[in-house]
Structure 1
Amino acid sequence: MTLLAVSFRQYTEEERVTQLLQSVSKYLTLLIEIHPINNVRVLKAVDSCVRVQFLYPVECRNTSPESHLLLVSEDKYIEQFDIHVVAEEEHRVVIQNLGQLPRVRVADDLIWAQWDMTEQRLFYIVPKESRSTLKCIQFYPDENFNSTLESQLDISVSDKQIRFVNFGYNDCKDQDVASKSLNLQVFTSKAGGLCVCCSLASDIRGEITYSIYFLHKGFSKTFTVSLERPETPQLKEVAFLNLDYYVAAYLPGQFLHLLNIQHPDLLCYSLFLTGEDARIDMLPSCSIQSPLVSTVLDCCMGRMYAVSISDSALLKFLQSSERDSERLAALHCALLCVRSTTDLETKIIWWISENLSTCHSFDPIQEFIIASLYCKMCPETNNLDKLLPYTSLLDWTGVIPGVACATDIISLPVLEIQNSKGFWEKLDSNLESVKYAEPQLHYHNNVLRREWRILSEETEERRATAYLRNIFENAKKVLSHLDAWDSEERLVPLFQEEDYQQQLLMGLMVAQLKDHLMRHLQYVGKKKIDQIVLDYVANLLNLVHRIMKEVWKMYQLHSCIFCFDERGSEAEFRVFHIMSRILEAANGMCMPLPPGFHTLHLGLGVRCLPLHTLLHYIDNGVLHLTETCVRKLLKDLDDNEKNEKLKFSIVTRLPEALGLKARQFWDHPVNANFLARKYVKLLFEKLGNRQCSRPVPERHPVPVEFLPLNYLTNVLAEIENQGVHPYEKQDHINVRFVEEAALKHTMMLLGLRYS
């Protein structure tokens, strides 16, 4: 590039007195050939301020036969100059036809304009009575430009002076001009977000009002902030910063408000900071702008700064916050905006483990799992962020102290281009989502929960259907996708066991999430959707295991604690409590748990809880009886009086199928007595209203005559002879077994020896 365009003021304030009578234009705009001729062309010599901006539609373009220059005037118009250059001898490049530069009018009657230098977009506002129209022009590498967007804004700017944003230096000393011009800025995000940020004049001392128009969502939010220090601040104008996933409203020395662009509906996802927390390092309390994403320009000193959200500051704020809204906002900001590292995730898990009882309006385990999954999965596929859940909260009715918020529905912008790519394609997708009821697009677990409950009650015969076989095939695929748990991760003694209920839930989640994505992402293809769903459920299980692994390290537990010969430690009790909260979070979201979770949870419960509490937890579904844990419990504990009571209490609560296997684990009269009673009960239930009409068969005499027992066994034998056999596959359970079990238990209770 050998061209330079410059616009400047011709004289200083001190020279104004001596030049009042001279007919000299205040502003001069020049086009200069830097090398080799230093030819100068006057583009404008006017009283009004003029800004110039070269177009750079192609990055790293070294040579070009044509350059394009925007000229933006305070007279409310924008022109484009087309400057043709030619190469001469000795590699010189000069302007062709300097006296006749082609020009075209780009925009008229504007009151505000902003240049997006990265994406080569021109935003401008045309006032129309009480409402204004925001327009956008996109410049392309092929040297063409198109009007791309038009949006109606409920902003009155008829009495405002024109303001230029990102068109070079603004004189921050001219506070009178700044106060009369429109403080407004447009921000875009990579995900197709389009926000208009505008500060409004407030008649009340000590209050600041500003509005954010989330054009890609179809609503706006107007915030009124009561300043902590109501004395007149050094700056009365709110500065807006573009942080891609967030926009920030910043008033130095007063507050920093981070607003979530992707999920602006609930205020608890926006972070409102005051005092020392609201300080941006290295920035003085002066006028600033955000010309680029994550960039701040100090207008007074002329310095440019890169701005990012500090993960260490977020973690510190998370740990020190006393309000649920602040904790939730910091948690989401860390996971979704900072794109958390393994180290940050570990620190968040430790914080969650220590603060499970301090969060009242949300479950931190649920939010950590859902937000982490959302962050991991959504970058892989376009529009996936509109289909996967990002929070466990359906609504939030809390308030942010010192901040009043009003929400208004606004008209959606109209896109004037078709078959667009990049940002415009994503914005169009966001607008379509709003038109077709976006809340219904996000995956919900209502149907999953209902289906799981129905299938959990199916009989063995119905479990063999093709539908259920497919469900369990889904579960096997998920388990095969789990991360390999190496020796370090095996610190948590999770048993690789089959858990019918959890595998059923895994398979159902895969099936229903796949159906949900297929309805909205057909263009992605079935194979890709299958992979997304399997990765999602596998990552979910890995996150639960990750939490447990960090908790195990936190409390310095060992992998060999799964035994029952001694009571649990205080650390084990704390881990048991955390596992109970994980289970509660899983039940609330209807999500599966890793294989062996319930076995480990029950094992810790046996070690840590008194018997009556343990049984209460089992009866209320907090602890789930698993074959692995029951078998180990019955085998490892000896049969003293205390252990017999524990074992019998467990055996009596076993499901029928597992109860039949328990006799193999525990050969004891108490267990035999339970099975005998169960057998008798089932005999009479199956008998129903039948009458005993057959004669009593001859039976082998029993060693002890006990007339009530003899009568009972005769009745049972008659029922058996009528073809009633509850345990047809269990040949060892019959009337003879009932008789012997009753005698053994009776003799044991009487303290007599049975032979």
Structure 2
Amino acid sequence: MALRLAADFDLRKDVLPGLRAAAGARGGGAGILENNYESLRVLNVERNGNIIYTYKDDKGNVFFGLFDCHTRQNEHLYTFEKDLQVVSCSVNRERTLLAASLVQSTKEGRRNELQPGSKCLTLLVEIHPVNNVKVLKAVDSYIWVQACVAGCLLCPAGWHIPESPEKGQWDGSSVCFPVAVLLGLRLFLHPHVESNPLPENHLLLISEEKYIEQFHIQVIQEDGNGVVIKNSGHLPRERVAEDFVWAQWDTSEQRLYYVELKKSRSILKCIQFYADENFNLMFEAPLDIALSDSGFNLVNFGCTDLQDQEKFSEHPTLCVFTNHTGSLCVCYSPKLDSWEQITYSVFYFHKGHSKTFTAALGSADSRVTKGITFLNLDYFVAVYLPGHFFHLLNIQHPDLVCHSLFLTGNNEVVDMLPHGPLQSLSGSLILDWCSGRLYRADLNRSYLLEFLWDARLDWEKMAVLHCVLSCRQDTRFLEAKIIQWISENISACHSFDLIQEFIIASSYWSIYPETGNMDKLLPYSSVLTWNTEIPGITLVTEEIALPLMRVHSFKGYWEKLHSNLEYVKYSEPHSHYSNSVVRRQWHSLISEEKTGKRRSMAYVRNILDNAIKVISKLEARHLEPRLTPLFQEEDNHQRLLVGLMVSELKDHLLRHLRGVEKKRIEQMVLDYISKQLDLICQILEASWRKHNLHPWIFHFNRRASAAEFAVFHIMTRILEATHSLFLPLPPGFHTLHTVLGVRCLPLHNLLHYIDNGVLLLTETAVTRLMKDLDNTEKSEKLKFSIIVRLPPLIGQKICRLWDHPMSSNIISRNHVKRLLQDYKKQPRSSVIDKSSYSVEFLPLNYFTGILTDIESSSRALNAFEGHDNVDAKFVEEAALKHTTVLLGL
């Protein structure tokens, strides 16, 4: 399955054995729980990861327990000696105050369905030491209570609670239940600070009468470590929100999201609670969804039986997901109105648009019996409908639908997830209420890699590739597996280039965790548009109004969200880094080199220093010796390209990443570019290893093998991929590519590749060519064809390595061209001194005389200083030898 669920907690394994052992030790026998296992269930998952659960013994007594996620130990919190049904529960961080919502069981012993008029009681218990039990409220409606930093409940008038329950137990006999009582779900607010206990605890009370209050409870220590409530007769409280129809609690981040209806418009609001402050209304955002004020829905307020999961279609599904990058997603599924298709929407507020997906359900006979489940997976949102589909939506890059994965059908892929109601918690935690299991969810790398091999459609390959690369554990292993897949499917994609997408996406994900703004500044895909439809999925994209921030100072997540919103408002549509500037600069430097004009040496030296840093970091990435013979030469052109890219990318990030140190940005740039070069090296290493090539193949005395043909093809595809994106190549790439080209291609194909820029002639490759090949007719033809295509500066050096009339002819031509470049014809005597020449060939003698006169001038000698053994005499001899060869004499 694309989603892997690893159980962090299981009631059957982590709690039940200990309860049976404790019951046996008390003499009650392990059978106490055998017939009451149905009563054992999870009530709440606290911010620190501890899990509160409840169960009943054979007498109906209600027990509260806590599983410590760090010590993996269970702790008994409290016991109510009365047959009550627990609706919700929370404990403060210090485990001194327990808040619980209870309802009397029916005579038949089954759970009360909590219809209006049910007898409900919301209590706060001092459990360390065992002391007072206090009632928060009693009204004719339901109430949920969420503890913030710690919690306490107010005892309303008309209720009597015993002041000193014995030994942590309370029989409930002295409590008078009114005819209609308020049901309370309490949640303690827990701060991040885990040092000294706070003197004040905070408790949220959520009422079905559509208001939320916060109680402030001060506690004091008595008798050593004992903690009791101070001034319990009067607890300060304040109204947090009212007139809402939906609310969601984020335990990890201590945030309350709720929806108000204003003139038939749904307005999403968020309140942030702090340990050292009170709370702030952070933003308001309009939602284009249909919520009725007659309904009432709560998310993540603990376990509740008020919603019948079998009748999900009567209620819309709504939830809010965030992550550390500053994303804000609202997922919404309306009431089901068709058995043939189902629709859901995702509001990407951090991107400024929403997407509405309509998924075909297949046969109309396949009725939907469960509701849509939305799960937060950090960079992805999973949308799951049991037996029908499983979608992985990319929330970081939702612009292109091909970056999301859509799995459909009633098969093992979809059916492996639990079919019961799942609750998505912070930190990719998922709670299965039915089984009492807490899972840690992440993407299943093994399944995704296997799916990558089996995928036949381009959009599936694109989506899975990005899913795999987002898994940041053991990236070297993942990259090796992807490279292996690319080498086997190099031409399998028609909508995008596999090598391009791999290099761009992998280098992006390697640096993305450094700062959340990288998705705005660096390209994350080689694909700019995607128009191909995905079978079974209909998609509508719409712009949405951005959230209105209600605060003026931001930190943490809110700073990143605000940055995302500002980017949507004011940034250019395409602010991603592009190599277009580097392309112009590089061509300018190459052109200056050919003309002999070069800008200041300091500028060029700085560019080459940048390249040296990148190459050093590249070599440090791979400590073991590489099989591929790269880094064997000073590839100045590629080094200039690498250095220019460092300079331009650093300037780009400095312009947009305000507040980030210059040194850190420079390090990020070096990491990014060296990563791109390293990926190319990894592809070559994989090909080299796969075909078992020798580390050094620079020899021309035998024909190429099939393995060398395959590697040459891979290198050509790499060159095509990097050329269109104008990405640098590791030094030595062109040399190795040319050597393989000479060995693999017929002469006419080789020259065609050279003339069209596919093969670039380097000094190292041509030098090896001149030394290795003999002077047979075939080799001479090859050498001459190569030499005449060399750049002048390289050609002058190479010609001197080939002791051949053809080489002498080329050297002579270049020498004459330089001498006559600025030559102005002067009057000369018509009488030629024949005694100076060995051959009576007047045209040649006349021309040689002109060259001799030019060479005799001091200006010419200075201009051509260093070209030993090349003079008029050498030109004459070369001309005669060449004529002889042409005439076949």
TM-score (norm 1): 0.92
- Of residues 425-434 and 171-180 in structure 1, the stretch that sits farther from structure 2 once superposed is 171-180
Q: Distance in 2 between matches of 1:23 and 1:339?
A: 51
SS in 2 for 1:548: helix
Does residue 1:552 correspond to 2:688, yes or no?
yes
TM-score (norm 2): 0.79
Q: State whether residues 812 and 878 of structure 2, in contact with CA within 8 Å, keep that contact through their aligned partners in structure 1.
A: yes
| Residue in 2 that maps onto 1:698 | 833
Q: State whether residues 682 and 726 of structure 1, in contact with CA within 8 Å, keep that contact through their aligned partners in structure 2.
A: no
Amino acid at match of 2:200: E
Q: State whether residues 423 and 431 of structure 2, in contact with CA within 8 Å, keep that contact through their aligned partners in structure 1.
A: yes
Task: Describe how 1:116-515 pairs up with structure 2 within 5 A.
Answer: 116-142=250-276, 144-159=278-293, 161-171=295-305, 174-175=308-309, 178-201=312-335, 203-275=337-409, 279=413, 283-381=417-515, 383-437=517-571, 439-458=573-592, 459-484=595-620, 488-515=624-651
Q: State whether residues 787 and 799 of structure 2, in contact with CA within 8 Å, keep that contact through their aligned partners in structure 1.
A: no
Q: Which runs of 5+ in 1 are unaligned?
A: none
Does residue 1:33 correspond to 2:126, yes or no?
yes
Q: State whether residues 800 and 807 of structure 2, in contact with CA within 8 Å, keep that contact through their aligned partners in structure 1.
A: no
Q: State whether residues 129 and 158 of structure 1, in contact with CA within 8 Å, keep that contact through their aligned partners in structure 2.
A: no
Q: State whether residues 495 and 599 of structure 1, in contact with CA within 8 Å, keep that contact through their aligned partners in structure 2.
A: no
Q: Distance in 2 between matches of 1:522 and 1:24?
A: 59
Does residue 1:748 correspond to 2:841, yes or no?
no
Task: Write out per-residue CA displacement over residues 203-243 of structure 1, whole angstroms, 9 at most, x where no aligned residue.
Answer: 44311111100111111111111124443444352110000
Amino acid at match of 1:7: S
Q: Distance in 2 between matches of 1:13 and 1:110?
A: 35
Residue 448 of structure 1: CA displacement?
1.4
Q: Distance in 2 between matches of 1:172 and 1:628?
A: 78
- Of residues 595-604 and 356-365 in structure 1, the stretch that sits farther from structure 2 once superposed is 356-365
Does residue 1:110 correspond to 2:244, yes or no?
yes
Task: Write out per-residue CA displacement over residues 219-274 of structure 1, whole angstroms, 9 at most, x where no aligned residue.
Answer: 11111111244434443521100001111111112111111121111111111122
Q: State whether residues 51 and 168 of structure 1, in contact with CA within 8 Å, keep that contact through their aligned partners in structure 2.
A: no
| Residue in 2 that maps onto 1:579 | 715
In structure 2, do the counterparts of structure 1 residues 359 and 586 end up closer, same or farther at CA, with 3 Å as the change threshold?
same
Amino acid at match of 2:687: V
Q: Distance in 1 between matches of 2:603 and 2:309?
A: 72
Q: Which of 651, 658, 662 is the aligned partner of 2:798?
A: 662
Does residue 1:601 correspond to 2:695, yes or no?
no
Q: Distance in 2 between matches of 1:177 and 1:66?
A: 41
SS in 1 for 2:427: coil
| Residue in 2 that maps onto 1:2 | 96
In structure 2, do the counterparts of structure 1 residues 594 and 504 end up closer, same or farther at CA, with 3 Å as the change threshold?
same
| Residue in 1 that maps onto 2:211 | 77
Q: Distance in 1 between matches of 2:874 and 2:604?
A: 37
In structure 2, do the counterparts of structure 1 residues 438 and 78 end up closer, same or farther at CA, with 3 Å as the change threshold?
farther
Q: State whether residues 631 and 730 of structure 2, in contact with CA within 8 Å, keep that contact through their aligned partners in structure 1.
A: no
Amino acid at match of 1:538: S
Q: Distance in 1 between matches of 2:110 and 2:634?
A: 89
Q: Distance in 2 between matches of 1:131 and 1:13?
A: 44
Task: Write out per-residue CA displacement over residues 434-461 of structure 1, whole angstroms, 9 at most, x where no aligned residue.
Answer: 1222544321112111222222111323
Q: Distance in 2 between matches of 1:564 and 1:485?
A: 32
| Residue in 2 that maps onto 1:541 | 677
Q: Distance in 1 between matches of 2:206 and 2:111?
A: 29
Task: Write out per-residue CA displacement over residues 292-344 of structure 1, whole angstroms, 9 at most, x where no aligned residue.
Answer: 33222223333222211011111111111111111111111111244452111
- Of residues 485-494 and 536-545 in structure 1, the stretch that sits farther from structure 2 once superposed is 485-494
Does residue 1:44 correspond to 2:178, yes or no?
no
Q: Distance in 2 between matches of 1:389 and 1:399?
A: 23
Q: State whether residues 133 and 150 of structure 1, in contact with CA within 8 Å, keep that contact through their aligned partners in structure 2.
A: yes
Residue 62 of structure 1: CA displacement?
7.1
RMSD over aligned Cα atoms? 3.0
In structure 2, do the counterparts of structure 1 residues 29 and 18 end up closer, same or farther at CA, with 3 Å as the change threshold?
closer
| Residue in 1 that maps onto 2:32 | none
- Of residues 33-42 and 302-311 in structure 1, the stretch that sits farther from structure 2 once superposed is 33-42
Q: State whether residues 314 and 336 of structure 2, in contact with CA within 8 Å, keep that contact through their aligned partners in structure 1.
A: no
Q: State whether residues 315 and 335 of structure 2, in contact with CA within 8 Å, keep that contact through their aligned partners in structure 1.
A: no
- Of residues 439-448 and 480-489 in structure 1, the stretch that sits farther from structure 2 once superposed is 480-489
- Of residues 214-223 and 540-549 in structure 1, the stretch that sits farther from structure 2 once superposed is 540-549
Q: Distance in 1 between matches of 2:754 and 2:351?
A: 47
Amino acid at match of 1:736: K
Q: Distance in 1 between matches of 2:262 and 2:873?
A: 97
Q: State whether residues 185 and 197 of structure 1, in contact with CA within 8 Å, keep that contact through their aligned partners in structure 2.
A: yes
Q: State whether residues 339 and 368 of structure 2, in contact with CA within 8 Å, keep that contact through their aligned partners in structure 1.
A: no
SS in 1 for 2:783: helix
Q: State whether residues 27 and 50 of structure 1, in contact with CA within 8 Å, keep that contact through their aligned partners in structure 2.
A: no
Q: State whether residues 428 and 442 of structure 2, in contact with CA within 8 Å, keep that contact through their aligned partners in structure 1.
A: yes
Residue 418 of structure 1: CA displacement?
3.0
Residue 719 of structure 1: CA displacement?
7.5
| Residue in 2 that maps onto 1:671 | 807
Q: State whether residues 478 and 538 of structure 1, in contact with CA within 8 Å, keep that contact through their aligned partners in structure 2.
A: yes
Q: State whether residues 163 and 182 of structure 1, in contact with CA within 8 Å, keep that contact through their aligned partners in structure 2.
A: no
| Residue in 1 that maps onto 2:88 | none
Amino acid at match of 2:385: L
SS in 2 for 1:317: helix
SS in 2 for 1:550: helix
| Residue in 2 that maps onto 1:739 | 876
Count of equivalent residues? 749
In structure 2, do the counterparts of structure 1 residues 274 and 591 end up closer, same or farther at CA, with 3 Å as the change threshold?
same
Q: Distance in 2 between matches of 1:90 and 1:526?
A: 53
Q: State whether residues 310 and 370 of structure 2, in contact with CA within 8 Å, keep that contact through their aligned partners in structure 1.
A: no
Q: Distance in 1 between matches of 2:361 and 2:113?
A: 46
Does residue 1:518 correspond to 2:654, yes or no?
yes
Q: Distance in 2 between matches of 1:19 and 1:532?
A: 58
Task: Write out per-residue CA displacement over residues 389-417 of structure 1, whole angstroms, 9 at most, x where no aligned residue.
Answer: 22222222222111111111111112222
SS in 2 for 1:612: helix
**Percent same amino acid among aligned pairs?**
56
Q: Distance in 2 between matches of 1:585 and 1:19?
A: 64
Residue 480 of structure 1: CA displacement?
3.3
SS in 2 for 1:262: coil
Amino acid at match of 1:742: A
Q: Distance in 2 between matches of 1:500 and 1:36?
A: 77
Amino acid at match of 2:333: S
SS in 2 for 1:196: strand
Residue 358 of structure 1: CA displacement?
0.8
In structure 2, do the counterparts of structure 1 residues 59 and 179 end up closer, same or farther at CA, with 3 Å as the change threshold?
farther
